[in-house]
Amino acid sequence: MNNFDLFSERENTHVKIEWRPAASYGEVAVVGYKIYVNNSLSAVLRQDQLSYTLTHGKACDNYTVHVQALSNDKNIVSPMLRGVSFVWPGVKPGAFRRVDDGQSGNITVAWEHPQLEDETEKLLGYKV
């Protein structure tokens, strides 16, 4: 089986990966693919489905995707491809906490600096 073409789309709401078709694996025909996300089976696809879109990621979390070809002989499967690892796009907010003494009528809050998926990006502001 060939390698991934990496990401065809990478947005805050989804990450799409694609791969080239595998016509056969040894002497047997490829009839589908298993998709593993962080070592858990996420989907079983038909032979003609050559992409998979992840939609439930968390900003700044790490993900690894593996694809495994399935053959028409249930006893024969390909080894998993070398995984594609990525960080989900977006911003993970810092921890939010109350810091006042509870004695006054005012409430004071603070938060840690947010984590950015791309550290070269600049944070423009906060929305509370």
Query: pLDDT tens, position by position, for the chain (128 residues)?
Result: 444 455 677 888 899 998 888 766 667 888 889 999 999 999 999 989 999 999 999 988 999 999 888 888 877 777 777 788 888 988 877 777 777 766 777 777 777 777 777 777 777 777 76
Is residue 59 domain-shared with residue 109, that is, in the same domain?
no
What pLDDT shows up at residue 51? 93
Specify the DSSP class assigned to residue 47: T
What lies within 8 Å, CB to CB, of 115 at 6+ separation is 59, 60, 91, 92, 94
Is residue 83 domain-shared with residue 116, that is, in the same domain?
no
Is residue 71 domain-shared with residue 9, that is, in the same domain?
yes
What pLDDT shows up at residue 23? 66
What pLDDT shows up at residue 1? 45
Distance, CA of 88 to CA of 59 (rounded, Å): 5
Domain count, the chain: 2
What pLDDT shows up at residue 24? 66
Is residue 17 domain-shared with residue 75, that is, in the same domain?
yes
Q: What range defines the domain where residue 53 resides? A: 4-87
Is residue 124 domain-shared with residue 72, that is, in the same domain?
no
* pTM across the whole model: 0.72
What pLDDT shows up at residue 37? 95
Residue 43's beta-bridge partner residues? 35
Is residue 61 domain-shared with residue 108, that is, in the same domain?
no
